[in-house]
Amino acid sequence: MIEPLDTAEVIRHFNDAFLQHDPAALPQLVADECVIENTTPAPNGSRHVGRAACLDVWQPLAANQETSFNLEEVDVHGVRAVIFWRFRWGTGEEHSVRGVNLMRVRDGQIVEARGYVKGA
């Protein structure tokens, strides 16, 4: 039997999918029961339930060559991870936003992701 990836490995592969614009890497990392609480629209974001719904959010974002994520810090604590990032859609800080994802992993797959951004 193959052991599932630990939380740090899952999060590393998840981040790599966005850093390398590789949406095909995401399906194996997302659990059937995954739930995303997205950063938009303000003030509460949107909720996406299930693997297909979560992939519908993440895969186009990972594939977009005109945007980028810069990792600032990643902290893993058991089944939970905190990912601090900057998302860029152009040149200069006025075309970026800083945020954080609070992630939970079970049996080698992401089951929960809550995203937050710094607002005005």
Q: Specify the CATH architecture of the domain 7-117.
A: Roll (3.10)
**What pLDDT digit, counting tens, does each position of 36-72 carry?**
999 999 889 999 999 999 999 999 999 999 999 999 9
Q: Token pair 């797959």 is at which residue?
A: 109
Domain boundaries, the chain: 7-117
**What pLDDT digit, counting tens, does each position of 75-91 carry?**
999 999 999 999 999 99
| Cα-based torsion angle of the residue sequence 33, 34, 39, 43 in order, rounded to the nearest 10 degrees | 20
Structure token pair of residue 114: 């809550």
Q: Token pair 């390398």 is at which residue?
A: 20
pTM of the model: 0.94
Angle of CA points 31, 78, 116, to nearest 5° = 65
pLDDT band at 5 (very low <50, low <70, confident <90, very high): confident
